[in-house]
Each structure stands twice: as structure tokens, then as C-alpha cells.
Structure 1
């Protein structure tokens, strides 16, 4: 195979891999509370203990959340935002 054909084949492969990833990225997401490991939360704590991703201190803290595919939170034993707020009260 000549160099030009090899470059074209590589470029085609890379482009097609990018197209396959689009549906997963476009999938609807929801916040799921109580499933993240320490340091693996997606954003600020629900109750203001910190304001950034990756700052949770405890595994499975009910005030910390991660984005998950819509409809999968309950399968992971997680809580919705409303459920997490009720538990804090």
C-alpha cells in the first residue's frame, strides 16, 4: 500500500470513529445523586459544601452527583435531585 492510500485509510477510520461517538454524546443526561466516589463528582455539591467537580470527600455522598444517561439513575441505586433534597431536611 502506498503512503497516500495509507493516509487516506487512516483519515477515513478516524472520521468514522468520530461519527459513531455522536449518538452517545447526544444522549439525554440527568443528575444522579449518591452514586459518585470521592473526588469523582461532576460539579458543585447540592448543598453548597464546595463549588467544583472532583471535590467530594466521601464515597456515595447523597449531596454529590454525576451525570448519567436518562433513566439509569434508579438502576444504580441513585437519587433524583428532589429525593436528595428531602433526605437533607
Structure 2
């Protein structure tokens, strides 16, 4: 391989890597544009986003499905239409609640 070929190969690699990183940052920026809200009572066991009260310490620590004091981030405006089997209304809540019996 000549020095010119090695230089061209290295340049092509750098350009490809730069393009990949650009695409990844655009996707991340678009995801950040989506507004999210905390929704209580919709996370499955171990799938909550962070602490909400007794029985949770942070992400992934909910002890049961639809735990009333554990929240999950959902797209803004969808909490009230997301199923919650423990909520008095049957849907997620914007604040923690007392689970129905």
C-alpha cells in the first residue's frame, strides 16, 4: 500500500466516523425536543424512571406493576390516557396517588 493510498483510506475513515457522529447527535436532539411528563402508576415492576416515595429509591426500583408512587416519563399529554391498573380512574396520574383496593 502506498503512502497516498493509506492517507486516502485514513481520510475516508475519519469522514465516515464524522458523518456517523453527526447523524447520532441529530437523532438525540430530535428526541430531546419531545416534551415529556411524569406519570404515576404506569410503570411496570422495575421499569420506573426514578424515586417517588417509600419503596423506591431511583430508576428501576418499583416493587410492582403500576405502583402508585412510582413514575415514568411519557410524552406530554398522554398520561391521562395511559392505563394504570391501580389508579382510581384506570389511567396514569400526574401526582402519586393511593392505589385502589
With the shorter chain as reference, the TM-score category is 0.7 to 0.9
CA distance in 2, matches of 1:43, 1:3: 44
Bigger-Rg structure (1/2):
2
Gaps spanning 5+ residues in structure 1: where? none
Runs of 4+ aligned residues of structure 1 deviating over 4 Å after TM superposition are none
* C-alpha distance in 1 between matches for 2:64 and 2:99: 16
User: Shift of the alpha carbon at 1:15?
Assistant: 1.5
Q: Identify the match of residue 38 of structure 1 among 45, 50, 54.
A: 45
Q: Which residue does the alignment assign to 1:66?
A: 72
TM-score by length of 2: 0.67
Bigger relative CO (Cα 8 Å, ≥ 6 apart): 1
Structure with the bigger percentage of helix = 1
1:75 offset after TM fit, Å?
Answer: 3.5
Relative to structure 2, which stretch is displaced further, 25-34 or 47-56? Answer: 47-56
Count residues in correspondence: 86
Query: How far apart are the structure 2 equivalents of 1:50 and 1:16?
Result: 36
Q: Deviations over 1:58-85 (max 9, x none)?
A: 1112221101110122332242234x43
Aligned equivalent of 1:51, options 52, 57, 64: 57
- How far off is 1:31 after superposition? 0.8
Alignment partner, residue 8 of structure 1 = 15
